[in-house]
């Protein structure tokens, strides 16, 4: 089967300069994929050069959703935006997935309006991969929902587990809930009740995970509300940046330290590669009737290609069917309870 | 003036083995301090050796609050614990401050019960120092309160600003509120309303700070509810540990990388010193009628000494008076509004 990915080429801090080369790289790496490049044709075509690949098509979109545009306005006014058209392509079955590095709120609002929610899911959630001491973990929600009910958190758990089980071929991935202590009595009411629901859900629920437990790899899926998840993610980004700056400063202090840097360079490069956040780029917007991936706004071509690969992977592994199936299993349980 | 610090010698992962040497080091460094070592006399005395300093006294306490003991039980049953007696000494005016590396929840519950709250403050908050790209910042609450009203968050802002203003002699430290976007419309209802209150408060309020803004040093005081704050703190700890492990692994990979490590050692040591969390040990329990500092449970003697110094600093700079004064100023404003 050929997988078609619609790309919002105008989104992100760099627009087509990043998204188009990334798309071409993605095509080179995978023979079974096609891309539809959506955006201002005049900006996209020149970047294609003499590429005559039949697997690339360009779809003109006259408008662009700005990075700081209020989602409600983007939804109402930007019907001819690259983001909207890319999502429409998924709705119309012309693409199997859509990827954008644009305005997260707008992407969420438009996706939800155009694609609608899967049956049994109330709200979409943003699910990203984070590196851990032992591999990686999936964390959701990372900012789509600032106030979550226990039922929403349960749905996040089901969606996250379905995603991991589909993509990583794991039968029963472990699921934890982000909390401020390991004991059951800890946390706010929503989290405590959500833990009860998760425990009764039939998922492989391991209980509370503290902030440091994310990076220790204590669970393969970590559930949290979007406010807490977003703070955890951004705090991590900030800390990693600060540490990298300090390390660079120390190695730049004088001639001797610069010499040490030169000698340590291969090691530092390996270290950097190991923790490179670009490798984990591409967060899934779960719960929609369609596959939508959000790339980091500041992504470079390497990072954006990874988001495209993640989208293809989600299509290939049948994530949507897996979530739908799992939610349907859950319904009767919920009704009995 | 001589400052007397009551030390719960039994708290923390290591108990007297850490707290007693740290206390002696603290005495060596400061001529104007006294310590009261509270705990099992038989465990403390041998560690004092031949120290004949008139500035050390030992106060026997027969019980110990366990690290995993439910706070309510510790409050009800452990009236003769080292933690309780150390706090009592503050209440009775025999000590100016108390420091414990023990059970945070119990320390909070007992402090609140024994010392009571300052007028105008509803709940205590845990305030810690975190390093930033440009220096450091104070963040509160880090876990005392899992559900906060906008008014509580305002009080945290007032207390944090008073602390920084007293200790760092800054007239109007900047105050930000932890949120998931920089725009005013972002965040949950409590945070949005708290931002309004902070804006009207007369504090030097700079608006929303995102997770990465903490480490960028965007505000001198960052306010958040205890759930979010605790997740941010623990997530940071987890990430830092993971990165340190990866770096160590890379340098240990083979003979060549080990040689590189040897050469880079002085640089890595400086880096480690720069970001050493032990330097920031000692979180203030703000809002109480007394100075109580919480050390990290895993603190070593170097870290614990820092918590002791932080306690002395709080006494010296008159933090309690500053908070009381600032809250009193606020009252009329609140009543008008």
Cβ-based contacts of B137 with chain A (< 8 Å): none
pLDDT per residue as tens digits for the range B215-245: 999 999 999 999 999 999 999 999 999 998 8
Facing residue for B188 by CB, picked from A227, A238, A267:
A227
Say yes or no to pLDDT of B11 above 70: yes
Residue with the two structure tokens 């007693």: B20
Rounded-to-integer distance, Cα B128 and Cα B138, Å = 6
Is A234 an 8 Å CB contact of chain B?
Answer: yes
Mean pLDDT of B93-114: 96
Partnered with residue A4 across adjacent β-strands are A34
**Beta carbons of B178 and A231 less than 8 Å apart:** yes
Mean pLDDT of A267-288: 89
Residue B17 structural domain: 1-116+288-317
Average pLDDT, chain A: 92
Query: How far does A203 lie from chain B, in Å, by closest CA?
Result: 24
Query: How far does B257 lie from chain A, in Å, by closest CA?
Result: 6
A189, part of any domain: yes
Query: How far does B279 lie from chain A, in Å, by closest CA?
Result: 16
Query: Quick one: DSSP state of residue B75?
Result: H
Mean pLDDT of B173-192: 84
Question: Which 3 state secondary structure label does DSSP give B66?
Answer: coil
**Taking the CA atoms of chain A, what radius of gyration do you get in angstroms?**
21
If asked whether residues B49 and B182 sit together in one domain, one would say no
Cβ-based contacts of A236 with chain B (< 8 Å): 211, 235-236, 239
**pTM (two decimals):** 0.91
Average pLDDT, chain B: 92
Are A217 and A133 a contacting pair, CB within 8 Å? yes
Query: How far does B173 lie from chain A, in Å, by closest CA?
Result: 21
Strands in chain B per DSSP E: 3-8, 33-39, 56-60, 97-100, 125-132, 135-140, 174-178, 204-209, 221-223, 283-286, 291-294
If asked whether residues A8 and A29 sit together in one domain, one would say yes
Rounded-to-integer distance, Cα A101 and Cα A15, Å = 8
Cβ-based contacts of A146 with chain B (< 8 Å): 180, 186-188
**Beta carbons of A214 and B224 less than 8 Å apart:** no
Say yes or no to pLDDT of B333 above 60: no
| DSSP H stretches of helix in chain A | 16-29, 41-48, 71-77, 82-91, 104-115, 150-167, 189-200, 211-216, 226-251, 255-275, 301-316, 319-336
A335, part of any domain: no
Partner B, chain A 142-161, Cβ-Cβ below 8 Å? 143, 146-147
Size of interface A-B (CB pairs under 8 A): 180
**Beta carbons of A212 and B234 less than 8 Å apart:** yes
Are A83 and A60 a contacting pair, CB within 8 Å? no
Phi-psi label, residue B114: left if phi above 0, alpha if psi -120 to 50, beta otherwise: alpha
Using alpha carbons, select from B216, B222, B25, B227 the residue that is nearest to residue B135.
Answer: B216
Say yes or no to pLDDT of A334 above 60: no
CA angle A122, A123, A124 (to 5 degrees): 140
Share of chain A above pLDDT 90, in %: 77
B60, part of any domain: yes
Question: Which 3 state secondary structure label does DSSP give B291?
Answer: strand
B334, part of any domain: no
If asked whether residues A188 and A268 sit together in one domain, one would say yes
pLDDT per residue as tens digits for the range B124-172: 999 999 999 999 999 999 988 888 999 999 999 999 999 999 999 999 9
User: Residue A337 has what pLDDT?
Assistant: 44
pLDDT band at A311; cut points 50, 70, 90: very high
Query: How far does A257 lie from chain B, in Å, by closest CA?
Result: 6
Greater confidence, B263 or B117?
B117
A79, part of any domain: yes
Count the helix, strand and coil residues of chain B and give each as a percent rounded to the nearest 5.
Answer: 50, 20, 30
Among chain A residues, the shortest Cα distance to B228 is held by A228
Are A102 and A11 a contacting pair, CB within 8 Å? yes
Specify the CATH number for the domain of residue B295. Answer: 3.40.718.10
**Beta carbons of B188 and A147 less than 8 Å apart:** yes
Rounded-to-integer distance, Cα A163 and Cα B304, Å = 45
If asked whether residues A10 and A83 sit together in one domain, one would say yes
Cβ-based contacts of B248 with chain A (< 8 Å): none
If asked whether residues B79 and B130 sit together in one domain, one would say no
Is B266 an 8 Å CB contact of chain A?
Answer: yes
Say yes or no to pLDDT of B38 above 50: yes
User: Residue B51 has what pLDDT?
Assistant: 76
Using alpha carbons, select from B39, B112, B31, B43 the residue that is nearest to residue B71.
Answer: B112
A326, part of any domain: no
Split into its structural domains, chain A has a count of 2
**Beta carbons of B275 and A70 less than 8 Å apart:** no
Greater confidence, B253 or B217?
B217
User: Residue B331 has what pLDDT?
Assistant: 63
If asked whether residues A126 and A257 sit together in one domain, one would say yes
Query: How far does A245 lie from chain B, in Å, by closest CA?
Result: 8
If asked whether residues A13 and A130 sit together in one domain, one would say no
Using alpha carbons, select from B331, B147, B18, B122 the residue that is nearest to residue A186.
Answer: B147
Say yes or no to pLDDT of B335 above 80: no
Q: What are phi and psi of A140, to 5 degrees?
A: -150, 145
Query: Quick one: DSSP state of residue A143?
Result: S
Cβ-based contacts of B275 with chain A (< 8 Å): 243, 246
**Neighbour-count burial for A44-56, b at 16+ CB within 10 Å, e otherwise:** beebbeeeeeebb
User: Residue B232 has what pLDDT?
Assistant: 95
If asked whether residues A187 and A268 sit together in one domain, one would say yes
Residue with the two structure tokens 């600093």: B313
If asked whether residues B53 and B71 sit together in one domain, one would say yes
Question: Which 3 state secondary structure label does DSSP give A24?
Answer: helix
**Beta carbons of A227 and B275 less than 8 Å apart:** no
If asked whether residues B208 and B307 sit together in one domain, one would say no
Facing residue for A216 by CB, picked from B68, B236, B238:
B238
Say yes or no to pLDDT of A182 above 70: no
Mean pLDDT of A187-206: 93
Q: Which residues contact A19 (CB under 8 A, 6 or more apart)?
A: A7, A8, A9, A10, A11, A12, A37, A39, A101, A304
Cβ-based contacts of B259 with chain A (< 8 Å): 263
Mean pLDDT of A111-124: 94
B312, part of any domain: yes
Mean pLDDT of B257-284: 87
Are B285 and B107 a contacting pair, CB within 8 Å? yes
Neighbours of B46 (CB within 10 A): 10
Mean pLDDT of A139-152: 91
Is B74 an 8 Å CB contact of chain A?
Answer: no
Q: Which residues contact A33 (CB under 8 A, 6 or more apart)?
A: A2, A3, A4, A5, A26, A27, A55, A312
Mean pLDDT of A120-147: 92
Using alpha carbons, select from B214, B223, B182 the residue that is nearest to residue A105.
Answer: B182
Partner B, chain A 318-337, Cβ-Cβ below 8 Å? none
Among chain A residues, the shortest Cα distance to B270 is held by A250
Say yes or no to pLDDT of A153 above 90: yes
* Cα-Cα-Cα-Cα dihedral sign, residues B61, B62, B66, B71: negative
Question: DSSP readout, B166-224?
Answer: HHS--SS-EEEEE-SSSSTT-S-HHHHHHHHHHHHTTSEEEEEE-HHHHHHT--SEEE-
**Beta carbons of B236 and A239 less than 8 Å apart:** yes
pLDDT per residue as tens digits for the range A34-86: 999 999 999 999 999 887 788 999 999 999 999 989 999 999 999 999 999 99
Facing residue for A250 by CB, picked from B178, B210, B271:
B271
Are B277 and B82 a contacting pair, CB within 8 Å? no
**Taking the CA atoms of chain B, what radius of gyration do you get in angstroms?**
21
pLDDT per residue as tens digits for the range A199-213: 999 999 999 999 999
Query: How far does B17 lie from chain A, in Å, by closest CA?
Result: 26
Are B90 and B291 a contacting pair, CB within 8 Å? yes
pLDDT per residue as tens digits for the range B45-55: 999 988 778 89
Chain centroid, CA B40 distance in Å: 25
Facing residue for A146 by CB, picked from B188, B235, B241:
B188
Is A163 an 8 Å CB contact of chain B?
Answer: no
If asked whether residues B247 and B303 sit together in one domain, one would say no
Is B213 an 8 Å CB contact of chain A?
Answer: yes
User: Residue B312 has what pLDDT?
Assistant: 97
* A267 burial via Cβ count (<10 Å: 0-12, 13-18, 19+): buried
**Beta carbons of A214 and B238 less than 8 Å apart:** yes
Rounded-to-integer distance, Cα A112 and Cα B45, Å = 67
Q: Which residues contact A271 (CB under 8 A, 6 or more apart)?
A: B246, B247, B250
A102, part of any domain: yes
If asked whether residues B277 and B298 sit together in one domain, one would say no
User: Residue A234 has what pLDDT?
Assistant: 94
Best mutation target among A153, A239, A240 (most B Cβ atoms within 10 Å) is A239
Are B38 and B8 a contacting pair, CB within 8 Å? yes
**Beta carbons of B267 and A245 less than 8 Å apart:** no
Share of chain B above pLDDT 70, in %: 97
């Amino acid at each position: 089967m050929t997988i078609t990915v619609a790309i919002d080429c105008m989104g992100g801090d760099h627009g087509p300069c990043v998204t188009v080369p990334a798309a071409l790289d993605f095509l080179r790496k995978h023979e079974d994929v096609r891309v539809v490049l959506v955006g201002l044709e005049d900006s996209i075509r020149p970047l294609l050069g003499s590429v005559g690949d039949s697997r690339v098509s360009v779809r003109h979109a006259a408008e662009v959703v700005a990075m700081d545009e209020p989602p409600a306005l983007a939804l109402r006014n930007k019907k001819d935006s690259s983001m909207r058209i890319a999502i429409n392509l998924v709705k119309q079955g012309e693409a199997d997935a859509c990827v954008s590095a644009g305005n997260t709120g707008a992407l969420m609002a438009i996706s939800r309006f155009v694609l609608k929610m899967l049956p049994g899911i109330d709200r979409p959630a943003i699910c990203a991969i984070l590196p851990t001491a032992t591999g990686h973990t999936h964390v959701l929600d990372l900012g789509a929902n600032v106030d979550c009910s226990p039922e929403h958190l349960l749905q996040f758990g089901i969606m996250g587990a379905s995603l991991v089980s589909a993509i990583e071929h794991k039968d029963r991935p472990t699921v934890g809930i982000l909390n401020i202590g390991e004991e059951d009595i800890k946390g706010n009411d929503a989290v405590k009740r959500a833990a009860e629901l998760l425990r009764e859900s039939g998922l492989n629920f391991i209980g509370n995970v503290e902030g440091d437990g994310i990076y220790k790899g204590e669970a393969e899926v970590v559930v949290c509300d979007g406010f807490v998840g977003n703070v955890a993610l951004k705090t991590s980004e900030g800390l990693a940046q600060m540490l990298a700056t300090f390390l660079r400063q120390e190695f730049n202090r004088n001639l001797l330290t610069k010499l040490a840097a030169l000698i340590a360079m291969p090691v530092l490069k390996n270290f950097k590669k190991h923790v490179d956040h670009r490798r984990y780029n591409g967060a899934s917007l779960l719960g929609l009737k369609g596959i939508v991936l959000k790339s980091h706004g500041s992504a470079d071509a390497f990072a954006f290609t990874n988001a495209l690969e993640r989208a293809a992977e989600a299509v290939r592994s049948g994530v949507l069917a897996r979530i739908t199936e799992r939610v349907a299993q859950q319904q009767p349980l919920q009704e009995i309870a």
